[in-house]
Amino acid sequence: MDNCRYGRTAIETLIERILTFSENNPELAVNITTVFRWIFVVLAAYILLISIVSLLSTRATPEIWGYFMVEDGGNYPITHWENVIGRSKSADIRIPLRTISNNHALLVRRSEDKWMIKDIGSSNGIKVNGFRLDPEKRYVINPGDMIEMGGTRSTITPPSIEETRNNRYMRRLDKEPVAPWKILLAITAFQMMTIVQLVLSLGTEITASALISIVVLSAVMWAYVMIFNAMGRRGFEMEMIAFFLSTINLAVTASSDPGSVLKEFIAILLGLGLMIFMCVYMRDISRLNKIKPILIGLSVVALLINLIFGTAKYGATNWIKIGESGSIQPSELVKLAFIMIGAGTLEELYEKRNTVVYAAFSFFCLACLALMSDFGTALIFFATYLVVSFLRSGDFSRFVLTGVAAGAMGLIVLKFKPYIASRFDAWGHVWEDAFMDDLGYQQTRTMSFGAGGGLLGLGAGNGSLKYVGAANTDLVFGFVMEEWGFIIAILAVLCIATLSVFAVMHIVAGRSTIYTILACSAATMFLVQTMLNVFGAIDLFPLTGVTFPFVSTGGTSLMTSWAMLAYFKAADMRRNAGLAARKEE
């Protein structure tokens, strides 16, 4: 308690001294703000571009776990934990023989150089050492066992000792992720300058708790990197991006609603803790399969409670009040479960029951969101469902048919939800309704004030958009443009795009389809959410009322964004970079 009081007193003293300096030297204070605006852009460009380049330039080398030797047919390297054997071009181990089904068998790596094989609906079946396999069961096999498929004999051979050593050597030659220390120093400088800028701009309006939150965030950032670096972990670019964007979040909240900064900081801590827990939990794939029924049940209960007890905000009934000033958005938390439930191992993906369960769960979520009039979140869920469905089946025609059906459903929703329809009516001509509070007013102010920020921005706390409703949530892109400048706003968008590209890049070296689907689903949610927020704010899309990941004010959204990083970390195949993979020696 004494330390907290001392910290608050120190911050209050700092505020008083900065304000006294500003009053005594008004011209110098203005010059400092001008210089800071340039330095902010340089620091942001350095932090984000170094992180982005490192993420996109470091690739994981696929490892060879063994060979699938086909009699008179070739020797196929096995580079995944899960492999489809078949005649189809999409098969991991393609055997171009007419007697082999398109998707004939599933081969999965187990511990201690053992494998599991399963018939996945082949026309000729499978025999192992002369024993015909039951299509409903999976069987453990060892290297050297004779496998017969479509009259063709094959076997699994382990890599040689020399090749295993070479694999490890090649892994060590992979380009190391960028060291975090210089980036940490740059973010810390950015944070300390943000504190000074907020005091100069807001004066007595800024609260000590808001500034303390930024200082403690800096300390948490250093502690996180130092602890995991000491444990032998590398590759903190994703976390650096998240810490930087979270700093912008605290600054935006301090400028628009200083009393809520502490809540945002607590959300960051909870999200960081949840991310670490999820990474460790996802090391064991079997645990993910066991928790799915629980996640479905919790998600259904959460959405039903939202429907019954939800409070309308900006037209959508997607909030539940907690006490006098607190609230929670269940649909944000359901995002985490929605992705986890959709992902699966190859064995799960070939079971129709799992596909039906996920489709039914997705329909339930979309129906609930439609009843809540939360059209933006419904779009995010649906886009994610399309990506997950395509990754699960590889069937593009199903992808198209599902999209057409959803389009028809969307037209029906627009007919019976006048609030959503009004957003579409205003789309493309918001300037005609520039003075109407519920239509063009918000977007026209966002575009006007955002353009007024120029390349460098007016400085944190100096903007006028904060007086417009939902400026720090749905319209936060314009808010960042006005106070932080166009360059930093675009860099924030590039960060989200980079995470998505990184997820797609690491599909080739992915250990399991479950990690691949997790990362690609999270990337889809982040991308669609960012597009809806940015394009909605500038009238390229209808204003759908969704947040910008990490940047928008909103504790539940911020916590979920941090937790979703776990899905990207799970797909990170760089040596000792992903927390969801066990440390390599």
**φ, ψ of residue 148 in degrees (nearest 5):** -115, 125
Collapsed DSSP state (helix, strand, coil) of residue 67: strand
Cβ distance 377 to 148 under 8 Å? no
Q: Which two tokens stand for residue 514?
A: 């479950």
Collapsed DSSP state (helix, strand, coil) of residue 90: coil
The region, left, alpha or beta by phi > 0 then psi within -120 to 50, assigned to residue 554 is left
Q: Which two tokens stand for residue 381?
A: 């869920």
Cβ distance 303 to 319 under 8 Å? no
pLDDT at 245: 95
Q: Given the DSSP bridges, would you call strands 93-94 and 82-86 parallel, antiparallel or unpaired?
A: parallel
Instruction: Report d(CA 333, CA 338) in Å as an integer.
Output: 9
Q: Which two tokens stand for residue 186?
A: 């740059």
pLDDT at 167: 64
Instruction: Report d(CA 166, CA 418) in Å as an integer.
Output: 64
If we measure between CA atoms, which residue out of 494, 498, 492, 491 comes closest to residue 55? 498
Collapsed DSSP state (helix, strand, coil) of residue 10: helix
Q: Which CATH architecture has domain 66-173?
A: Sandwich (2.60)
Lookup result for tokens 């090391």:
283
Instruction: Report d(CA 302, CA 282) in Å as an integer.
Output: 23
Instruction: Report d(CA 478, CA 130) in Å as an integer.
Output: 68
Beta-bridge partners for 320: 328
pLDDT at 392: 64
pLDDT at 299: 92
Instruction: Report d(CA 115, CA 110) in Å as an integer.
Output: 5
**Integer Rg of the chain from CA:** 26
| Long-range pairs for 523-527: beta carbons < 8 A, 24 or more residues apart | 523/499, 523/568, 524/383, 524/384, 524/387, 524/500, 525/335, 525/339, 525/380, 525/383, 525/384, 525/564, 526/496, 526/499, 526/500, 526/561, 526/564, 527/496, 527/497, 527/500
The residue ranges of every structural domain in the chain are 51-56+174-571, 66-173
Could you list the pLDDT tens digit for every one of the 585 residues in the chain?
A: 455 555 567 666 767 777 676 666 677 777 777 888 899 999 999 998 898 888 887 666 667 778 888 887 678 888 777 888 888 877 788 888 888 888 888 888 876 667 888 888 788 888 888 888 888 788 888 888 898 888 888 888 887 766 666 666 656 655 677 888 999 999 999 999 999 888 888 877 888 888 889 999 999 999 999 999 888 877 889 999 999 999 999 999 999 988 899 999 999 999 999 999 998 888 877 788 788 889 999 999 999 988 888 777 666 677 787 766 677 888 889 999 999 988 876 667 777 777 788 888 888 888 888 788 788 888 888 888 888 877 766 555 455 545 544 554 554 454 445 555 556 556 666 766 655 555 677 788 888 888 888 899 988 888 888 888 888 888 899 999 999 999 999 999 999 999 888 888 776 666 678 888 888 899 999 999 999 999 988 878 877 778 999 999 988 999 999 999 999 988 887 766 666 555 454
Amino acid making up residue 577: A
DSSP-assigned letters across all residues of 451-515: HHTTTT-S-TT--SGGGSTTTTTTTHHHHHHHHH-HHHHHHHHHHHHHHHHHHHHTTTT-S-HHH
* Integer CA distances (angstroms), 197 to 7, 190, 378, in order: 19, 10, 38
Instruction: Report d(CA 165, CA 169) in Å as an integer.
Output: 6
* Integer CA distances (angstroms), 575 to 276, 527, 565, 581, in order: 18, 27, 18, 9
Instruction: Report d(CA 115, CA 140) in Å as an integer.
Output: 6
pLDDT at 408: 46
The H or E element that residue 76 is part of is strand 74-78
Instruction: Report d(CA 243, CA 387) in Å as an integer.
Output: 28
Q: Which two tokens stand for residue 166?
A: 């070479």
Collapsed DSSP state (helix, strand, coil) of residue 159: coil
Q: Which two tokens stand for residue 507?
A: 């599909």
If we measure between CA atoms, which residue out of 494, 502, 547 comes closest to residue 522? 502
